[in-house]
A and B are shown apart, each in its own frame.
Chain A
Amino acid sequence: DTAVSQTPKYLVTQMGNDKSIKCEQNLGHDTMYWYKQDSKKFLKIMFSYNNKELIINETVPNRFSPKSPDKAHLNLHINSLELGDSAVYFCASSQDPRAAYGYTFGSGTRLTVV
């Protein structure tokens, strides 16, 4: 039974398209995150939500819009995709907003923009 699940696992799309990535956790955690891992494996936080409320919004283009319909789901919608958006996007969850106990990660979504 997957704790943090993301769909799709792979996403190939053309520049200018709009796409969404979905994330769901069944751990009962209150806080969820989106991280971007670039081609050099560097992980950078994009957003975090605590119980449906936006907590962190790093310097991310406003083409990226997160949505949390409930505390178990955090989706990421991307408008007008660009080549530089190609990366692996990870969803994660934690027991508390301070991340004192670490995260549980999803398996990632590899986005390729052509």
Chain B
Amino acid sequence: AQSVTQLDSQVPVFEEAPVELRCNYSSSVSVYLFWYVQYPNQGLQLLLKYLSGSTLVKSINGFEAEFNKSQTSFHLRKPSVHISDTAEYFCAVSLGAQKLVFGQGTRLTINP
């Protein structure tokens, strides 16, 4: 069965520090991978996605994620976070099963 695991339920960091949110998935076939962000009391917004090609994908606000097939991971990173990055982050996987399966979410809290 397809599953997605986000290894940290909460990640507190100081402003301007680097951060990594971890995501692992289980699948024996090709996958499409996504990171979504949910700001308080809002819906989910697509942050970035991996469909094919370069394994490093980037968002417009400084986040990046790298697809690692051998480790079945798609970790999200940012070299320097801002207070406005405080949100819940969800990793999601689609392998053609007609739906996205989401991880449990990671709450990123930025402290000044």
Contacts and interface: CB of A to CB of B under 8 A. Distances in A.
Given A43-B90, A100-B51, A106 B43 contact: yes
A101 B98 contact: no
B32 A100 contact: yes
Interface string A23-61: 000000000010000001111010010000001100000
B94 A98 contact: yes
Contacts of A56: 98-99
Contact of B94 (A41, A100, A104, A105): A100
Nearest to B101: A45
Main secondary structure of the interface of A (DSSP, over half): loop
B44 interface: yes
A105 B44 contact: yes
Contacts of B34: 102
Interface residues of B, number: 24
A67 B16 CA distance: 47
Nearest to B92: A102
A42 to B, nearest CB: 6
Nearest to A35: B102
Contacts of A42: 102, 104-105
B104 A97 contact: no
B54 interface: no
Contact of B99 (A4, A45, A101, A107): A45
Contacts of A55: 98
B36 to A, nearest CB: 8
Interface in A82-114: 90, 97-108
A48 B43 contact: no
Nearest to A44: B102
Interface of B: 32, 34, 36, 38, 42-46, 49, 51, 88, 90, 92, 94, 96-100, 102, 104-105, 107
Interface of A: 4, 33, 40-43, 45, 48, 55-56, 90, 97-108
A-B pairs, 5 with minimum CB distance: A105-B43, A107-B43, A43-B102, A99-B94, A41-B105
